[in-house]
Amino acid sequence: MIVRQQGGLTEFIPSPQEKREGVLRDHTLRMLENLDARLRRIEEELGLPLNEAEAFSKIMARIHREEAEARRINRKLMDSGLDHTEST
């Protein structure tokens, strides 16, 4: 994270590596969801048991919850950091 301070304001800028990692993570999650949907349709069409598909869906739901929580925490930290710098 690159931190830039100017005139009492603090700006948090993701480094190029952090941006790249975020893009890759998001893209990978979308690809996995797409693959899961396609495999699920095939399994349903063939009448295969959906135990593994359901387990994967639970894992993806957990990942989404954790990602949402991380975004919430980051937003809270950014907001508290802005409040702190404005008062100084």
Domain that holds residue 75: 2-87
Structural domain count of the chain: 1
Res. 66: pLDDT tops 90: yes
Res. 15: pLDDT tops 60: yes
pLDDT of res. 82:
57
Do residues 56 and 63 lie in contact, with contact meaning Cβ atoms separated by under 8 Å? no
Q: Output the CA angle 31-34-38, nearest 5 degrees.
A: 140
Average pLDDT over residues 32-43: 92
Show Cβ contacts of residue 57 under 8 Å, excluding neighbours closer than 6 positions: 36
**What is the pTM assigned to this prediction?**
0.63
Q: What is the mean pLDDT of the chain?
A: 84
The closest alpha carbon to 33, from 64, 12, 78, belongs to 64
pLDDT digits (tens, 9 = 90+) for 71-83: 899 888 877 765 5
